[in-house]
Copies of this chain bind each other. A is one copy, B any other.
Amino acid sequence: MGKQAEITIHDIAKKLGISASTVSRALNNNPLISKATQAKIKETAAKMGYRPNTMAANLRTRKTNTIGVIVPLINRHFFSSVISGIEDVAYNSGFAVTITQSNDSFEKEEKIAQTLYSNRVDGVIVSIGMETTKFNHLKHFSERNIPLVFFDRVVDEIEAHKISVDDFNGGFKATQHLIEQGAKKIAHIGGPLNLNIYRKRLDGFCAAMKKAGLEVDRQMLLHNSLTRTDGTNAIKKLLKNPQKPDAIFCANDTTALSVIIYLVENGIKIPEDIMVVGFSNEPFSEVVTPSISTIRQPGFEMGQKAAELIIEQIKQKNQPSLFQNIVMPTELIIRQSSFKKKG
């Protein structure tokens, strides 16, 4: 059915009465080729509708010009922003991007890593899942000299470039802000502590409390998976305590949102009775009522940076002697959910 055979460099060579290697060189802008023949070759290649077969070139050069990306969930604003940033930079450098999602499942993360390896991606950018506590599947890449860059949910145990936001400082600033607004009994709804972003946010929280001479009440510290449901359960639990919080620092905006919705439904005033601060600056946080105070996380820029770092590594083949640990600054955005008075 008109299924015209693929045109190869040999077809071009034959038509021009030259060799395939000359065609290959011309198409790859090899400087050894005379301008005249190069022009002629490119012209007829275009005329014949030639499209290079990347697979063959890949096999030969042992490169795929492809970057693999592993995220917990594509369909989440922060992660899709990062992906968008990665794609932006990668595309402009001639790299394709293969996206995978672990769904926060360790098993899937392992399989994905295998697949990406089999596909011989030139590098991998990864944010680990909530279940991940072993890292052999990722070490495998660095052992084979395949560049690896972590972002957000980074792994301390592996040497690699890492990009994160200043989670400690974010937690600190959020908490300090609540204190400045008059909070004394501050609760924290955090994520799984095997992820260091959540450890650091908690540490920042504790540091700010300590600095203000406030006590961290064990009853006020909750850890879960930070879903809408988790948030609702957490606020219910907190409200049952004898000591009720006057402010809550949530480790993400999703939890903050569900807390706010629950409080509003139950006639508890925000920020008068309870103040709330989230983390990540999701799109909804600005527009919900009350709008959610939060910590901005520059996803797109993190993705761009991750792509830049990995491409740099890919190009200079051997692993860098010194790995960067890039910590992007966080920004506290004060909105209605925590604004009582000037701090």
Residues of chain A at the chain B interface (Cβ within 8 Å):
1-4, 51-56, 58-59, 64, 66, 73-77, 80-81, 83-84, 87-88, 91, 96-101, 108, 112, 114-115, 117-120, 143-145, 257, 261, 282-284, 287-289, 299-300, 318-319
Closest partner residue, chain B, to A285 (CB atom) = B284
CB pair B118 A99 closer than 8 Å: no
> Chain B contacts of A115 at CB under 8 A?
96
Determine the distance from Cα of A120 to Cα of B261 in the docked complex, in whole angstroms: 49
CB pair A2 B143 closer than 8 Å: yes
> Chain B contacts of A52 at CB under 8 A?
118
CB pair B100 A99 closer than 8 Å: no
CB contact between A145 and one of B3, B56, B120, B284 (< 8 Å): that residue: B3
Nearest 5 CB-CB pairings of A with B: A289-B289, A75-B84, A284-B284, A80-B80, A74-B84
Most buried by B among A77, A80, A112: A80
> Chain B contacts of A2 at CB under 8 A?
143
Closest partner residue, chain B, to A65 (CB atom) = B119
| Contacts A257-B287, A283-B284 supplied; 20 other A-B pairs, CB < 8 Å | A3-B145, A51-B117, A52-B118, A53-B118, A54-B118, A54-B119, A55-B59, A55-B64, A75-B80, A75-B81, A75-B83, A75-B299, A80-B80, A80-B83, A88-B101, A91-B108, A91-B112, A99-B99, A287-B288, A288-B289
Q: How far, in Å, is A84 (CB) from chain B's closest CB?
A: 4
Q: How far, in Å, is A115 (CB) from chain B's closest CB?
A: 7
Query: Given A64-B55, A75-B84, are A97 and B98 also a contact pair (CB < 8 Å)?
Result: yes
A-B contact pairs, 30 of them (CB 8 A): A1-B145, A1-B318, A51-B114, A51-B118, A52-B118, A53-B118, A53-B120, A56-B59, A59-B59, A73-B84, A74-B87, A75-B77, A75-B299, A75-B300, A77-B77, A77-B283, A80-B83, A87-B100, A91-B100, A91-B108, A96-B98, A96-B100, A96-B115, A96-B119, A97-B100, A284-B284, A284-B288, A288-B288, A288-B289, A289-B289
